[in-house]
Amino acid sequence: MVTLEPVFVEAASSNPWEYFTVPGFEVISHCPDDFNATYARALERATAARAALLPGDFWGEMPTPMKIVLYNRPLELEADFLKSKPIDLTWSAGDPALLGSGSVRQAYPTLVGDGDTYISCGNYYNLLTDGQGLYLDPDSELRLAGRVPQFPGWFEAGLEGRFGLFRDRRIESDTVVLPNAVWISGAETAALQKDPRHARQLLPLASIFGGYAPEGKGLAWQAQAALVVRWGLYAREADGSDHRKAFLDFVRQSAREPVTEAMFRAFLGMGYAEAQARLDAYLPAAVAAPIRVPLGALDARPVAMREASPVDVARIIGDWGRLEGRSIGLQGLSYQQECLDQSEKLFERIQARGEGDPMFLAAFGLYALQTGDTARAREALETATGAGIVRPRAYLELARLRLEDALPSVGQGIGDLSEKDYAEIVRLVTVARLQLPSLIGCYQTLAKAMEHAPHKPTRLEMADLVAGLRLFPRNAPLAYRVATLYKGLGDPEEAKAVIDRALAFADTDDARTRLTAFVVRDP
């Protein structure tokens, strides 16, 4: 019997994948060029809108452009059509031989990511004839959530939560439109629009800034968080003055330390009682009308397009399949396997050609790691990171591999790692830490390495972990781990200081319970 090598079918030459870039984005597309140009303009408008709404330092950085996959296959409305089913990414007009999924088609874009790379993928067939009014915003919420130091929960909820100021924004001509506020429900909102004196009760500002809602008041908390943000950014007093600059400075500081009334007064010039009264007075105006923000100038240059290379296709679509194919429970096992099989075909096709593109190797290494092939993962990640690529996940996962290889089956503590292994792990994590966005896994891995360091970590080394606590002040597991390390090093005072600071930031019952348990056990 003769075993044949796998045969991979390329997309038909009459309809190749097109590739183009917009600052902050990489796009591959099966759509016509006129729609691609429309989509590129929509991405540029979304970027301009973001700049018009909040200062640049409010939006987290991404180390690599966001990836977007566009295709235009006619929908097949089957009985088991589900939004979460896989997308056939290899279809091309007139080509009956498909590489990858041949199952249900998907209409709506899906977003996947792993902290440093995000990929949006969807079918735009139903928009091809009506794309001029296309409004996109694929990355603003990601950038807000990925910004470090982390914003407090009330601010994120006030922007992108259930009643968030930015939730349903749109662009009309050269203006960003932020819809009128919603107060708790449609009925309550309509009642306030009809009668500004309609009865309402605001929650204490301490509970908004503290990150918790009284029992049964979750909707009220969400609505008031959005009202606070709307008031802080766009409300005007009778004399025409506003609070925008002071409020932005207050939000910046609230990412660095817990909010207190004294801190609020220092920035806004008023205490909670006065602010509460002003919020109550502003509410009728907030529900009555939208906010219009002028859009900045757009780049009018045409978008340069080219045919996507096989490496582009494998790097982007293969990575999408890897991320979409992560475990989603027993009911999704067949879907998960279909995504991974598609990734494998794309990656192996390029591997067989001996391609050495570092970004492709990073994507392939992460795929191999996810599928359990640690030997190939390590080889690919070492080559990719050795080339100095910008993708922090690649450095972090290689550091984790080295740490697992170097540790004994049962770690004993200080002295388990050699100086050479420890230095290399710290080096890899340091590179990852310096490439934005900062990944919480960098500090978790660094803490684990220090628990098994060849020597007692110095105060300077521990300062790197403390820097992580400043970036992720609300992450109770990290605080607990760093405090445990300090305690094991015989420094209970520093351990207690870490726990006390984390408790001041804790905004969930689970976090407070976990941190308090550490204090109880601390002699």
3-state DSSP assignment of residue 62: coil
Task: Compare 190 and 32 and report the one with higher pLDDT.
Answer: 190
Could you tell me what percent of the chain has a pLDDT over 70? 86
**What pLDDT does 234 receive?**
97
Number of neighbours of residue 110 by Cβ within 10 angstroms: 18
Model confidence band, residue 248 (pLDDT cutoffs 50, 70, 90): very high
| Nearest in space to 247 (alpha carbons), one of 274, 267, 222, 261 | 267
**What pLDDT does 191 receive?**
96
Q: Provide Rg for the chain, Cα atoms.
A: 26
| Nearest in space to 384 (alpha carbons), one of 440, 336, 432 | 432
Residue 71 has pLDDT above 60, yes or no: yes
| Model pTM above 0.75 | yes
Residue 8 has pLDDT above 50, yes or no: no
Strands 175-178 and 170-172: antiparallel
User: What is the C-alpha to C-alpha distance for residues 16 and 401, in angstroms, rounded to an integer?
Assistant: 38
User: What is the C-alpha to C-alpha distance for residues 230 and 240, in angstroms, rounded to an integer?
Assistant: 16
20 within 8 A of 34, measured Cβ to Cβ: no
Number of neighbours of residue 129 by Cβ within 10 angstroms: 8
Q: For 445-484, b where at least 16 C-beta lie within 10 A, e where not — what string? A: bbbbbbbbbeeebeeeebebbbebbebbbbbbebbbbbbb
Q: At what angle do helices 374-386 and 358-370 cross, to 10 degrees?
A: 160
Model confidence band, residue 103 (pLDDT cutoffs 50, 70, 90): very low
| Nearest in space to 207 (alpha carbons), one of 197, 198, 215 | 215
Beta strand residue intervals within 278-418, DSSP E: 291-294, 306-307
Question: 211 exposed, middle or buried (CB, 10 Å; 0-12, 13-18, 19+)?
Answer: buried
| Residue 35: DSSP 8-state | H
Task: Compare 121 and 307 and report the one with higher pLDDT.
Answer: 307
User: What is the C-alpha to C-alpha distance for residues 494 and 405, in angstroms, rounded to an integer?
Assistant: 31
Model confidence band, residue 414 (pLDDT cutoffs 50, 70, 90): confident
Structure tokens belonging to residue 151: 């914003």
Lowest mean pLDDT among 94-98, 196-200, 331-335, 463-467: 94-98
What's the per-residue H, E or C state across 17-31?
Answer: CEEEEECCEEEEECC
**What pLDDT does 78 receive?**
45
Lowest mean pLDDT among 94-98, 180-184, 407-411, 482-486: 94-98
Model confidence band, residue 136 (pLDDT cutoffs 50, 70, 90): confident
Q: What is the mean pLDDT of residues 209-219?
A: 86
User: What is the C-alpha to C-alpha distance for residues 209 and 229, in angstroms, rounded to an integer?
Assistant: 11
Task: Compare 211 and 26 and report the one with higher pLDDT.
Answer: 26
What is the average pLDDT score of the chain? 85
**What pLDDT does 87 receive?**
55
Q: In what order do the strands lie in the sheet with 175-178?
A: 170-172, 175-178, 291-294
Q: Read off the pLDDT of residues 140-182 as tens digits, 9 standing for 90 and up.
A: 999 998 898 989 999 999 999 999 999 989 888 789 999 999 9
Q: At what angle do helices 218-234 and 244-254 cross, to 10 degrees?
A: 130
User: What is the C-alpha to C-alpha distance for residues 36 and 49, in angstroms, rounded to an integer?
Assistant: 20
Amino acid letter, residue 381: L
- Selection from 165-179, 271-285, 349-363 with the highest mean pLDDT: 271-285
Residue 12 has pLDDT above 60, yes or no: no
Q: Read off the pLDDT of residues 294-317 as tens digits, 9 standing for 90 and up.
A: 987 787 778 899 999 999 999 999
Structure tokens belonging to residue 373: 């092939």
Q: What is the mean pLDDT of residues 200-219?
A: 89
Lowest mean pLDDT among 80-84, 232-236, 490-494: 80-84
User: What is the C-alpha to C-alpha distance for residues 188 and 378, in angstroms, rounded to an integer?
Assistant: 57
